[in-house]
Structure 1
Amino acid sequence: MQTTPDDGLAHWLDHIGPMLEGLQDLVVGSGTTLDHSVVSLHDLERLLLAETLDAAPREGLVEALGGYLGEALLTVGGGAWSWDEGSGLPVAVLDAGGTVEPMPLVLDAVTRRTGTVWATEHERVMAEAAGRRADDDGWEPRRADLPALPTRAEDDPRDPWLTRWLTTRREQFDAWSADTGRARELDFSPASLVPLAQVVRLRIPSAEALDARIEEDLVQGAIWYLGEVARIHRDARWRYTPDPDGTSENPSVGRPWVAQDDDGGGSAIPALELWVAVEADTDEVLLERFAEFD
């Protein structure tokens, strides 16, 4: 019996949930959160590139990653899954406009090996959604079907403040990076710490000014971005110790910081790294210090 587009779509929708559950098992312990964010796309593309250095992707991985990529794009662009009869593959038909074929994008990432293929597509869909909002007052992207990724409790429960802060920073990353004027360079690679330092040093002339503006979106976004680069490339994890009275002299108390799990592993307090950056005489300072992170 010939498979129809309806059959293909039904099969895909039946299997995408279990595939994404398996993808969650793959990233347990890596620090990756499958929250449909651009950061998670960077993380997964990095994992894929590491796995395919000397071999083809394992069976089923392309489909699982394609499913996650499609879900991430449907989250920011709205719409629903459909089926392309010509290619015999699932496609994401976006409320923001256009259709995306996630599986070819997964293979494109393996071919190009830039680590930014999926984030670039995410940025494109975000721009399409922004254009729809500008043209149609009150429009917001909406799923026309149910999201396929089940939620799961954190393996290591975090402080509630840190959980809220990380969620806010992830959600505001696209707007924050656009505000820097260097969005295309801020791709979570170690090299991107140079444009990050340039932005901070240009807009904040001294450590005193940094202290005065520490709660501003520019600084909070820079703190998060710097920590995320360490999380992605140095297997660090976010930490936070509350300071209820505001009296602790420990520099890691009352501030989000990152540390590796291994005994003797490195740690860093991003806010203090920015303090060093604005006092330094080179835009390479954050990259140089990152290179020393074990």
Structure 2
Amino acid sequence: MQDATEAKLDDWRERLEPMLAGLQDFVVGPDESLDNSVESLRDLEHTLLAETPAGQPPGEGLAEAAGGYLGEVLLTIGGGAWTWDPDSDLPVTDLGVGETAEPMRLVLDALVHRTGTVWSATYERIRALAATRRNEDRVWEPRRTDQPALHTETLDAAPTDPWLTHWLTIREQGFPEWSAATGRADDLDFSPESLLALEQIVRRRIPAKDALREPADDDFVQGAIWYVGEIARRHRDAHWRYTPDPTGTSKNPYVGRPFVEQDDHGNDAIPLLELEAAVLSDETGVLLDRFEVFD
């Protein structure tokens, strides 16, 4: 028989997805995105402050939805799951970095301090803890142990091709060393905005399109390919795909290269070709602009 705490947690999780959908439609608006980024937290915290005069309590629906989104973001970067705290009688996030965060308390903290930086500071602290955990355990990643409310969880979806399985394992395990070698490890946090940093790194290392296929640069390029695809996977519910090319003669760009694809929307991208576009262009933000192909 389900106890009262479990029932409250189940009720919270059932209400969370429609609450976040309403937050996007009626509060955030079409020009902003609930994309699990630190920028989205800053925007939402400023919206909360604008909607709540100093000294006044927040609207119950807005406070609850904002806390729900904050918790989802922290779980994305720190791993773990929602739990229910019987003492406060509120939902909390039991994070994979060894801490418990209380999103509803953080909503109240934002309204008390009114700096607009309470949530982003929490984000950066959890991100730092996750980075430390990765350095201590090279195969650790912030995996959700429950179902995200914003996107379908695909972190544990196993690719069917043995080559892709091996490639993904090698890239994931080697990421801490790869990112450290770029000199910009702190900027490579798997947020969509970090594509700006990756673009700068790639252009500095790769002077021309043909260099993307130079054997001497292969490990660097493979790491960049994986990073581009991982952002689509983590933020846009995309899946890694790979079609072998046994003869090595296929002219199909989707054959013999790992790519990412959204099952529901049919959008896809070949990360190597995205990197080529960035190297060939003189404009800033090419990778980020091309990321927008994903709904």
TM-score (norm 2): 0.56
Matched, 1:69 2:97: yes
For residues 133 and 202 of structure 2, the distance between their equivalents in structure 1, rounded to whole angstroms, comes to 28
Match of 2:285 in 1: 284
Match of 2:244 in 1: 242
* 1:60 alignment partner, one of 83, 86, 91: 83
Tell me which moved more, 219-228 or 51-60: 51-60
Match of 1:94 in 2: none
Shift of 1:283: 3.2
For residues 180 and 218 of structure 2, the distance between their equivalents in structure 1, rounded to whole angstroms, comes to 16
Aligned residue pair count:
200
Match of 2:269 in 1: 268
Q: Contact 1:259–1:267 (CA<8 Å) still a contact in 2?
A: yes
* 1:196 alignment partner, one of 189, 193, 198: 198
Match of 2:130 in 1: 122
Shift of 1:233: 1.9
For residues 279 and 121 of structure 1, the distance between their equivalents in structure 2, rounded to whole angstroms, comes to 37
- Secondary structure of 2:96's counterpart equals helix
- Give the residue type in structure 1 aligned to 2:119: R
- Secondary structure of 2:187's counterpart equals coil
Match of 2:210 in 1: 208
- Give the residue type in structure 1 aligned to 2:100: M
Shift of 1:280: 0.8
Shift of 1:195: 0.9
- Secondary structure of 2:283's counterpart equals coil
- Secondary structure of 1:238's counterpart equals strand
Shift of 1:217: 1.6
1:67-109 deviation line (CA, Å, top 9, x unaligned): 6333xxxxxxxxxxxxxxxxxxxxxxxxxxxxxxx11498899
Query: Which consecutive residues of structure 1, in runs of 5 or more, have no partner in the other structure?
Result: 1-22, 24-44, 71-101, 131-139, 141-148
* 1:178 alignment partner, one of 172, 177, 180: 180
Q: Which runs of 4+ in 1 moved over 4 A?
A: 49-52, 55-59, 61-65, 104-111, 113-116, 154-157
Task: Go from structure 1 to structure 2 and tell me whether the alpha carbon gap of 1:249 and 1:52 turns closer, same or farther (over 3 Å shift).
Answer: farther
Shift of 1:214: 8.1
Task: Go from structure 1 to structure 2 and tell me whether the alpha carbon gap of 1:109 and 1:182 turns closer, same or farther (over 3 Å shift).
Answer: farther
Aligned-residue identity in percent: 46
Q: Contact 1:177–1:186 (CA<8 Å) still a contact in 2?
A: yes
- Give the residue type in structure 1 aligned to 2:83: G
For residues 157 and 216 of structure 2, the distance between their equivalents in structure 1, rounded to whole angstroms, comes to 30
For residues 229 and 206 of structure 1, the distance between their equivalents in structure 2, rounded to whole angstroms, comes to 24
Task: State the Cα RMSD in Å.
Answer: 3.9
Query: Which consecutive residues of structure 2, in runs of 5 or more, have no partner in the other structure?
Result: 1-12, 14-35, 45-62, 72-80, 86-90, 108-117, 139-144, 146-155
For residues 180 and 280 of structure 1, the distance between their equivalents in structure 2, rounded to whole angstroms, comes to 21
For residues 52 and 213 of structure 1, the distance between their equivalents in structure 2, rounded to whole angstroms, comes to 52
